[in-house]
Amino acid sequence: MTDVRETVRLEVESLPELGTAVAISGSPKQQEVGGAICLGIAAGIIVYMSF
Amino acid sequence: MIIGRELRTWVENREGQRLTRLAAQALADRWAEGPVHQAFARAMAAIPARTAEAVGEAMRTLFANDFWVDQLLDTLAETMRRDPYFEPPFRHLNSALHAGLVVYEDELVSVAAGVGSVTQLAARKRSPREHGSIVFSGQLSVIKFVKAGGARLAFWETPPIAQDFTAAHAGPCTRVAERRIADGEILIVDGRHQSFIIEHATANLVVVQAVVKADHAPVSVEFDAASGAYVACSAADDSASRIQMISTLLRKLDCEAAVPTMIAFLDHPSFFVRWHVMRDLLGIDLEAALPRLKRMAARDPHPEVRQAARTTLDHIEARTIREKAA
């Protein structure tokens, strides 16, 4: 059995990401496409009025 | 910056500023102890099963009586007339189209009251846009159109956004109906599979909205309005994003004392939080992370998390063999 702890130091940036990229809550990524968007909690009404 | 005489006087008047702050605090205290806030708190405390649907039904009942919206707006307007530097003691929710205030919040629900600007809506509709989008918030909302402003809403639906959501299998979203909304109408919109947009309005809208925190989807999802195709997603709840940021900060600080806390987040309901924390944990304490990485590869409920964990295990094993051989 190989003891990985003795030999491997991981670079976190090289570890795989999920296929589904999830942006930060209320992020500008959505603004680029959808217009003004949520501020934290009561995202709904601002989301719905963003079109 | 040009400062008027009145503002200059106020800026230099510490006592005046103190009185402004006291007025805001007094209003906040009156509101928190007042009958509306208390009614919200009692209703939430009385909910037996803390499901999104139960909270939504309770809010729909509370919204049946909206006398307090006019009273609150009148009180705020009157106080601002007396003191132009008064700021309402509520969290602001502002966008290009909407100005609102969060008037109640607990662990189950947030309630905001606000005004949608028909002028801004019209400007947005007229502006040339390459893409329109439909956003599904991931949370159940109860919305009362106290003044509907002659609004016509278009309703959209998508397959349920569940804990096993993946971009690869998202959507599409479909427009299912359009109709005019009446003054006083209450809608329950389940943002886990329903959404709407305002197609048209003739006057400002006065809206009260409860956003239910319980049972929310992991992500808010955005679709292209023209094609119905998936565009992007973001965390439906800001606490998930905060956990991710703090986890990375702890890893950057090489904070081994945080390992037990980070391990607890490997069971977080949101798939992307589980994987994010696992990556950071691998960076801080490989020994603590490895058995959990193996469990994650075998048993995590989300397929992409299992796959990422499996790939990482293979990567670690391959490197170990290479480095032992060298």
pLDDT in tens, B242-290: 999 999 999 999 999 999 999 999 999 999 999 999 999 999 999 999 9
Three-state DSSP state, B165: coil
Q: What is the mean pLDDT of residues B32-40?
A: 88
- Beta carbons of A7 and B323 less than 8 Å apart: yes
Cβ neighbours of B165 in A, within 8 Å: 20
Rounding to the nearest 10 degrees, give the CA dihedral for residues B225, B227, B232, B235: 50
- Beta carbons of A34 and B222 less than 8 Å apart: yes
State whether the Cα torsion A26-A30-A31-A32 is positive or negative.
positive
Q: Tokens 């600007």 label which residue?
A: B117
B116 has a pLDDT exceeding 60: yes
Chain B nearest C-alpha distance from A1 (Å): 10
Chain B nearest C-alpha distance from A3 (Å): 8
pLDDT in tens, B209-239: 999 999 999 999 999 988 999 999 999 988 9
- Kindly state the DSSP code that residue B107 receives in the 8-state scheme: S
SS3 content of chain B, % helix, strand, coil (to 5): 50, 25, 30
Residue B222, number of CB atoms within 10 A of its CB: 28
Burial class (CB in 10 A: 0-12, 13-18, 19+), B202: exposed
Report the pLDDT value the prediction gives residue A8, as an integer from 0 to 100.
59
Option in A7, A25, A41 nearest B105 (CB): A41
Residue B234 φ then ψ, to 5° = -145, 165
Residue B98, number of CB atoms within 10 A of its CB: 25
Residue B283 φ then ψ, to 5° = -75, -25
Amino acid at B168: A
Residue B135 forms contact with A (CB below 8 Å): yes
Report the pLDDT value the prediction gives residue A3, as an integer from 0 to 100.
54
Q: Say how many residues make up chain B.
A: 326
Separation of alpha carbons B171 and B90, rounded Å? 36
Q: What is the mean pLDDT of residues B88-97?
A: 80
B57 has a pLDDT exceeding 80: yes
Q: Considering only residues B67 and B268, tell me which one the structure prediction assigns the higher pLDDT.
A: B268
Amino acid at B302: H
Instruction: Enter the tokens of residue B301.
Output: 């409920």
Provide the CB-side half-sphere exposure for B298 (13 A, CA).
6
Residue B109 forms contact with A (CB below 8 Å): no
- On whether the CB atoms of residues B108 and B47 are closer than 8 A, the answer is yes
Determine the residue of chain A that is closest to B289 in CA distance: A5
Residue B137 forms contact with A (CB below 8 Å): yes
Strands B98-105 and B91-94: antiparallel
pLDDT in tens, B5-19: 878 888 888 888 898
Instruction: Enter the tokens of residue B95.
Output: 């966008």
Amino acid at B208: V
- Beta carbons of B168 and A42 less than 8 Å apart: no
Chain A nearest C-alpha distance from B161 (Å): 13
Q: What is the ipTM of this complex?
A: 0.82
3-state secondary structure B210-253: EEECCCCCCEEEEEECCCCCEEEEEECCHHHHHHHHHHHHHHHC
A6 has a pLDDT exceeding 70: no
Q: Which residues of B119-130 are buried (b: 16+ CB within 10 A; e: fewer)?
A: ebbeebeeeeee
Residue B219 forms contact with A (CB below 8 Å): yes
Residue B275 φ then ψ, to 5° = -70, -40
Provide the CB-side half-sphere exposure for A6 (13 A, CA).
7
Three-state DSSP state, A42: coil
- On whether the CB atoms of residues B192 and B140 are closer than 8 A, the answer is yes
Separation of alpha carbons B24 and B80, rounded Å? 10
Three-state DSSP state, B273: helix
**Which residues of chain A have a Cβ shorter than 8 Å from any chain B Cβ?**
2-5, 7-12, 15-27, 29-30, 33-51
- Enter the pTM of the model: 0.85
pLDDT in tens, B283-320: 999 999 999 999 999 999 999 999 999 999 998 988 88
- Beta carbons of B220 and A39 less than 8 Å apart: no
Interface contacts A/B by beta carbons within 8 Å:
202
